[in-house]
Amino acid sequence: MSSSMAFECRFPMYVLPFEDVLRMESIQIHEDLLKEGVLVEREVGMKVLFISQCWLSRSSPDRNNIQWNMLKDLLEAMTQGSVKFMAGFTSEALFGKHEITGKELQDFARRGHVWFDFCSVPQTNVEHMVSAVLSIPYYIGEADMLIVLQPPAQHENDKYYDVRTWASRGWCRAERLLNALSKKPKQLLIVESRHRRYIQVSRDWLLSPVGRGEFTVDGDRALLGPILDIAIKQREQFALECNDLLFYRMLRVSRSILLDGTGLPSEPQLSFQEWMRAMKFHSACDGESTGWTPLRFALYDGRCDVALALLQQGADVQAPLRKIEPMWGELRGTTILHGLASLRDLPEGIELLLKARAEVCGDEQDMTALHYAAFGGQIKNFDMLMALHPEGFRPDNKGFSPLATCFYNGRETWPGTSATLGSQRSKV
């Protein structure tokens, strides 16, 4: 592994062989498993399944073995080759086919091991626990598969937890982000029940900041900030070493989003020339053949001043993307206005583009900028678009209005949804 991606391992990566998980009737604490000789240290050649989940009590992740039994069912099915993972209908329609076959999972199971926090991380020795927690970026980078194990279940606080709860938790968001920042990001596999197992293709890791997630211990936000900051900078450097300028540039402009809420200070604002050099650009027309232009990145970065200077230099205000980029949630044909509308709540940027005659009209899916704003949950962008171009509130080629886009993307609690979107639906 490149030195730029060498996350520190402060505590051994303990894992459980599949066959031992299948023999265990219930989840057991790390110390007992270590004493019994069941835990093994991860070695080259092992296939490691990293499990991410919400705990169902303060003292144990799995009060009634709901998660553990679901895990055993999954491992048994993998061993038999009787399970596969596919992306959902909406994801496949937008980003193409994603699938892990039964044969691939069966081959994985032959050398399969499980990393599960309650089993793999010390629970009674605080010093060792902290060392293991600080090693999670390393563990995720070394894992071969990442599964969200979150069947609906009741927490000891009487609330019901499900995959949406998982997506709201700060530590779970951190695991998802660290996977996206790893040398080889794993597809996110979701297990909600025996019959609901699928690949989640989304950029929620980018749209849902760790620091804005829910934490049992509020101070964990500040604890995670420096860890994530280092991970982002290491991944930027690795992208440069690999000549992956798209990844490098997207991370640079997304840093303030990814670290939002962690309490870390913002970086000094660069001048126009400094920004162009840092982003490895030479002119306003760079990237026009792909759509990944300086103007797009400037607005994704929240830099309206840089964007204005680029427009004055003749930058293409549309610059539609030439191909799909699932990692970044970008579709072919996505214009700069569409991309900004979904990524960053920057109404002044929306207004700047519209004044420069950016088109609100639909992309190849006939989704307008309003669909994109709703999809990303960017309410200020949505309001600006409605104020200046309400005609964009219309169905796409599948019959979905921006309101439906908001709901099927799981944003039914988006501020203003019932009032703003509902009132606009009545006008269309």
pLDDT value, residue 367 = 86
pLDDT value, residue 411 = 53
pLDDT value, residue 58 = 86
Whether residue 216 contacts residue 257, with contact meaning beta carbons closer than 8 Å, is answered with: no
Q: What is the value of pTM for the model shown?
A: 0.91
Q: Using one digit for the tens of pLDDT, what is the confidence trace for 326-342? A: 889 898 999 999 999 99
Whether residue 246 contacts residue 339, with contact meaning beta carbons closer than 8 Å, is answered with: no
pLDDT value, residue 420 = 46
- Residue 113: beta bridge partners? 17, 48
Beta strand pairing call for 145-149 and 188-193: parallel
10-residue stretch averages of pLDDT, the chain, 428 residues long: 65 98 96 97 97 92 90 97 88 80 97 98 96 95 97 92 95 97 93 93 90 94 94 96 97 97 93 98 97 99 98 97 91 94 97 96 82 91 94 85 70 45 43
Q: Using one digit for the tens of pLDDT, what is the confidence trace for 10-46? A: 999 999 999 999 999 999 999 999 999 999 999 999 9
Nearest residue to 290 via CA among 257, 328, 260: 328
pLDDT value, residue 413 = 47
Whether residue 132 contacts residue 121, with contact meaning beta carbons closer than 8 Å, is answered with: yes
pLDDT value, residue 417 = 42
- Give dist(CA 170, CA 50) in Å, integer: 17
pLDDT value, residue 428 = 40
Provide the residue type at 133 as one letter: V
pLDDT value, residue 392 = 86
The gap between the terminal CA atoms of the chain, to the nearest Å, is 55
Nearest residue to 352 via CA among 277, 302, 287, 288: 302
pLDDT value, residue 316 = 98
User: In this structure, how many other beta carbons lie within 10 angstroms of the beta carbon of residue 69?
Assistant: 16
Whether residue 136 contacts residue 13, with contact meaning beta carbons closer than 8 Å, is answered with: no
pLDDT value, residue 408 = 60
Beta strand pairing call for 47-52 and 85-86: unpaired
Whether residue 21 contacts residue 75, with contact meaning beta carbons closer than 8 Å, is answered with: yes
pLDDT value, residue 242 = 96
- Give dist(CA 162, CA 171) in Å, integer: 15
Beta strand pairing call for 85-86 and 99-100: antiparallel
Residue 208, CA atoms < 13 Å, CB-side half-sphere: 26
